[in-house]
Homo-oligomer: A and B are copies of this chain.
């Protein structure tokens, strides 16, 4: 046969709790224990409150540029919920809900955006600091997964990135390494419709972003990223595939950035009000609250109580972040290397780069005998 089909594939979309609150029991029943759903909802409330406060801190000059997470709580939270402690979560900067679930102290994130590297010094929860260079972190996740496979410690890596990030060459290389070397990585693309002002179709004009993964022979799937049930399901499958088979999966989570790109951005310049309004109705918290209330797992009273609790938590977090002692310039010298070279020590101790300033004794050095002078 001169023309024969040698490969066929398809992309599926998974949804369980849809934007109208209808719930698919076939897939969804028993997926997440009720108390966990409640716990996640409560957690999302705290995260969202922190997000609002962070925005205000920036606006009042108490913090630098901050990227709002609002609307994108579900994908990272679902992943954090599914992952084991030993696993790695390698994120970009809109995954607060997942990082906090894993135990990252909230003030770390505030400190980061307050221009303080101590926000990135993270103990014991196997997460990495915000990735400022878009696309850079997926390779680290692939390497971390590789290290686990090498050490046979059974851990996997789950990495998060935006739709825009899939345009970077590093995304391609990370996915290709993971697929070709059989590494346990879960790639989660948060397709939130935009990369700053650039719409997703300019980053990926294919019908789905999910099909990026076909290039590597990976399993790939698209999921409603505002649906905690669907998200948990697809991440669970992917994690299993990684842990049991050392195979990566590509997940496209459809979600939306309800705020501006960052506090330095004004999305009204490029984004239709209608689009925003439509997505506001799809807010993951609205449908989840409705679901819980319908099942009598949540009440207005609890909502108020949790709002108060969130406010209390966040107040403490902000206080901790703001009251940390000022960093000193020693910090950026001492942490360049694990050891300090004499040159760097001199710069640190004098806070000068000019040689006369560093070594005033030079002024009195005696010319060598016989020197031309």
Contacts and interface: CB of A to CB of B under 8 A. Distances in A.
A12 interface: yes
B205 A215 contact: no
Interface string A191-224: 0000000000111111110111111110000100
A286 interface: no
Interface residues of A, number: 49
Given A2-B15, A26-B2, A176-B167, A214 B206 contact: yes
A241 to B, nearest CB: 15
Nearest to A202: B180
Contacts of A3: 12-15, 27
A173 B167 contact: yes
Nearest to A180: B205
B4 A13 contact: yes
Contact of A372 (B202, B230, B373): B373
Interface of A: 2-16, 24, 26-28, 167-173, 176, 179-180, 201-208, 210-217, 222, 230, 372-373
When A and B form their complex, which 3 residue pairs have the shortest distance between CB atoms, in order from nearest? A169-B169, A206-B217, A373-B373
Contacts of A211: 7, 9, 214-215, 217
A219 B108 CA distance: 46
Contact of A5 (B12, B167, B204, B216): B12
23 contacts: A2-B28, A2-B230, A3-B14, A4-B12, A5-B10, A5-B12, A5-B13, A6-B12, A6-B208, A7-B211, A8-B9, A167-B176, A169-B169, A169-B172, A172-B172, A176-B203, A204-B216, A206-B215, A207-B217, A211-B214, A214-B214, A372-B373, A373-B373
